[in-house]
Structure 1
Amino acid sequence: MRSDSPRRTPDFRALLTSFVLSQLATNISYVAVPLAAVEALGAGPGQVGALASLSSVAFLLIGLPAGAWVDRLDHRRILIAADLCRALLFATLPLAWWLDVLTLGHLYAIVLLNGCATVFFDVGSQSVLPSIVGRDGLIRANTDINTLLALGNMAGRSAGGALVALLTAPVTLVVTAGAYLASGLRLTGIRRTARATPPGRTGAVPLRAQIGEGVRHVFGSGHLRALALSATLVNLGSAMVTAMLPIVFVRELGLSSAAFGLFGAVGGVAVLCGARSARPLAGRFGYGRTLAVGGLYLAPAGLLVPLIDRGPWLLLAGAGWFTYIFKMGMDNVLGVTLRQRMTPDALLGRMIATFRFLLTGALAVGAGLSGLLGELAGVQTALWVGGALVSTSFLPVLLSPVRTLRELPDQQPHGEKV
């Protein structure tokens, strides 16, 4: 098998299919859950913000220890268990709605527990990738994954909006549960699996010490530290924007749930275009320059999103939404690949968990802050603060050693051995 053709690997094809199904489920729920809160339960801005925050707060609660656990356990089993748990959780929502016992408390509990399962799925899926495709195949593999994730994003959000309009939001969540179940079943096709930490060492090192190794690895590297700070800023700002969009579309602009789903699908198109453009742009301008200077030109478009209104303003906001998410799509390929290439196998789970703790924790904080600002100062204020954070998120990378990288590093940094 050629190292530059990861799609020739059956295990990678199984992982790709699972990613698509999982992303489809996630993006349908992205539309259906807040709309169920708004339309079926009459939730306000603060409650919608809390709902969005709870969906990712699990990364703050268990994100760091999850990385150490992933490094100790079989990655394939972790992924399957996470998907099956998510399927079961979302299956309870339409059942509760049919029995007329669906409440905001139930929604809160489901998104929190779903977030816990997602912690293990996200950390495990990135950790298993180098063992499946090899380090030389990572950029092609990450490009393929992010391309298909973007397609799932587009299909999920547009289908989610259409299904909500046709079936109501609670019924739409049946599709979410089914897609997670299908993802878990597809993962059984992976034969090559990995556990990064040797079995004999698992019990010898305390969990806290293992977590500390991962944190020091990230913040002790100028490259990884800059990537972490930049991605944290963009996630914080993006979460503030997206948490308020259901309120803007349904209540302030009086648009349909299908329109909200279509707007979300524009972001999926942007991620797709950014992911497919990442490798050729990096080949022409260099990996570091593409990450740093690309942000300088593209990230400020986030300031256009708070201008959202009916008519031409909706198109202008959509253009800003597309542009900054295009940049996020590029970063998803180049940044993730750089992080994987600069990390020893034995630290992959903990490095990924440290990033996820910061990045998804930023989503939780951003969503909660957005709901608070929406209640106290208005939805537009929350949108403007979020747009400002997105527009400046490129600065840590621009001011770091990352901008000088022409090629991906061939070896792990500092010759680290674990």
Structure 2
Amino acid sequence: MTAATDAPTDAGPPPALHRDRRFRTFWISETISHFGDRISELALPLIAVTLLTATPVQVSVLTALIWLPNLLGLFLGAWVDQRTHKRRLLIIADLIRAAVLLSLPVAYLFDAITLTQLYLVALLTGFGAVLFAMARQAFFVGLVPRSAYVDANSKMSMSRSLSFIAGPAVGGGLVQALSAPIAIVVDAVSFLGSALLLSRIPVTEPPPPPRRTSTLGLVREGLVLVLRHPVLRAALGCTSTVNFFTFIAGALLVLYASRELDLSAGAIGIALGFGALGGFAGAALAPRVSRAIGLGRTAMIGAVLFPAPLALTALVSGPTWTKVAMLAAIELVSSVGVMLMDVNLNALLIAVTPDDALGRRAGAYSAVNYGIRPLGALVGGALGTTIGLRPTLAIAGLGGVLAVLWLLASPVRHIQTIDAA
């Protein structure tokens, strides 16, 4: 594939995706699932912190286990590429996560929740998420025309951002009213709803091309593609760097807000929910900004704007309303940045990957990009224990800014449009 040029290519306006019933159903399915996820993201660490009196290291291990299965993406991606029925895999992934999450409220009713069970739930739901992600990109390509990749990613990112706006506030309220384990039922039901909607999408899935090599050979192909392609390599370096540092902060944020800032679950939910307004705005603006200044430049701005505000988390202090307002403002700016980066880079990754290699490319990419997240979480727990939570959060925000250097030193900074890649 050739390097991009600065001149945009006019491919005509993208199709009206909201009028496409198949894409609309897929979009609604993901939206429902995202709203459920926001509850579990708050409830799982709160179960560890409040019911099981977990230490910073134990909370960081919980976060790490959610992302650890991404290391299996190398093999799952190659395996998924050889499967014809990607929709079936998406449904199976949803059902696995629903069943595993329902084990927590059942154990709670019998007063039998343990840290070991919480770790297993994190690990198995993480596996379901990886399986879903590996099959999702091939399914996405079957639903969305190439010219609409950025628009489709923008719409789905807007839904995800809306879930971050309302989800934490609703989740915090549910946790306070029902307890964290019972609130997780909502997330389990959301996965069941997602599976039902996916089963209703009519789709023709062509069989994969004849197998040319072993599974290990396909794994190697995925790694070679990601590491040798200049755009994929730069995007991977950028997202892996920013994820490592932001997960140092993410693993400790709920603990920091709960113990050091002395905020209730409801107050934490309100702060994160209001801050997520930035994600909705960023997702909505991403296509417009990329058309105005170029896809690559927009992604670079996002790569700085996402981690930089997290350093200010270390300065949060004052009365409760001030602490909530400061956290909300930090999350607001950071959420704009992550969407400017994600929407454009995700569309770019799909565009430069051959259709028959989407699974193994996603597997190789996520094995590194997501596999580094547990490491970031564990480093966060270790630093939080040794030097304190505030210095650790400052290091995380400042270190994350280094991610933009990968894009600056690559062809990505010159890419104006998808067709220019």
TM class by shorter-chain length? over 0.9
Q: C-alpha distance in 2, partners of 1:142/1:196?
A: 25
Q: Which amino acid aligns with 1:323?
A: V
Q: Are 1:226 and 2:234 matched, yes or no?
A: yes
Q: C-alpha distance in 1, partners of 2:220/2:261?
A: 48
Unmatched runs of 5 consecutive residues or more in structure 1: 414-418
Q: C-alpha distance in 2, partners of 1:144/1:286?
A: 19
Q: C-alpha distance in 2, partners of 1:109/1:125?
A: 24
Q: Which residue in 2 is equivalent to 1:407? A: 417
Q: Are 1:328 and 2:341 matched, yes or no?
A: no
Of the candidates 19, 29, 32, which is equivalent to residue 43 of structure 2?
32
Q: Are 1:116 and 2:127 matched, yes or no?
A: yes
Q: Which residue in 1 is equivalent to 2:54? A: 43
Q: C-alpha distance in 2, partners of 1:22/1:16?
A: 10
Q: Deviations over 1:145-173 (max 9, x none)?
A: 11111112222222111111111111111
Offset, 1:302: 3.0
Q: Which residue in 1 is equivalent to 2:318? A: 310
Contact 1:3 1:136 in 2 (8 A): yes
The 10-residue stretch of structure 1 (375-384 or 234-243) with the greater mean CA deviation from structure 2: 375-384
Contact 1:160 1:261 in 2 (8 A): yes
SS at 1:394 equivalent: helix
> Matched residue pairs, number?
406
Offset, 1:303: 2.1
Q: Are 1:281 and 2:289 matched, yes or no?
A: yes
Of the candidates 71, 87, 112, which is equivalent to residue 98 of structure 2?
87
Q: C-alpha distance in 2, partners of 1:83/1:212?
A: 28
Offset, 1:270: 2.0
SS at 2:335 equivalent: helix
Offset, 1:296: 4.7
Q: Which residue in 1 is equivalent to 2:224? A: 216
Of the candidates 368, 371, 383, which is equivalent to residue 393 of structure 2?
383
Q: Which residue in 1 is equivalent to 2:381? A: 371
The 10-residue stretch of structure 1 (132-141 or 336-345) with the greater mean CA deviation from structure 2: 132-141
Q: Which residue in 1 is equivalent to 2:69? A: 58
Offset, 1:194: 3.0
The 10-residue stretch of structure 1 (332-341 or 155-164) with the greater mean CA deviation from structure 2: 155-164
Q: C-alpha distance in 2, partners of 1:398/1:324?
A: 20
Q: C-alpha distance in 2, partners of 1:313/1:87?
A: 35
SS at 1:182 equivalent: helix
Unmatched runs of 5 consecutive residues or more in structure 2: 1-12
SS at 2:112 equivalent: coil
SS at 2:164 equivalent: helix
Q: Which residue in 2 is equivalent to 1:416? A: none
RMSD, matched Cα = 1.8
TM-score normalised per structure 2: 0.92
Summarize the Cα distance change of 1:267–1:118 in structure 2 as closer, same or farther, 3 Å threshold: farther
Contact 2:305 2:338 in 1 (8 A): no
Give runs of aligned pairs for residues 69-218 of structure 1, distance below 5 A: 69-73=79-83, 74-194=85-205, 197-198=208-209, 201-202=210-211, 204-218=212-226
Contact 2:65 2:119 in 1 (8 A): yes
Q: C-alpha distance in 2, partners of 1:389/1:158?
A: 29
Q: Which amino acid aligns with 1:159?
A: V
Q: Which residue in 1 is equivalent to 2:260? A: 252
Offset, 1:299: 4.6
Contact 2:310 2:394 in 1 (8 A): no
Summarize the Cα distance change of 1:34–1:391 in structure 2 as closer, same or farther, 3 Å threshold: same
Q: C-alpha distance in 2, partners of 1:7/1:301?
A: 34
Of the candidates 212, 231, 235, which is equivalent to residue 243 of structure 2?
235
Q: C-alpha distance in 1, partners of 2:14/2:303?
A: 30
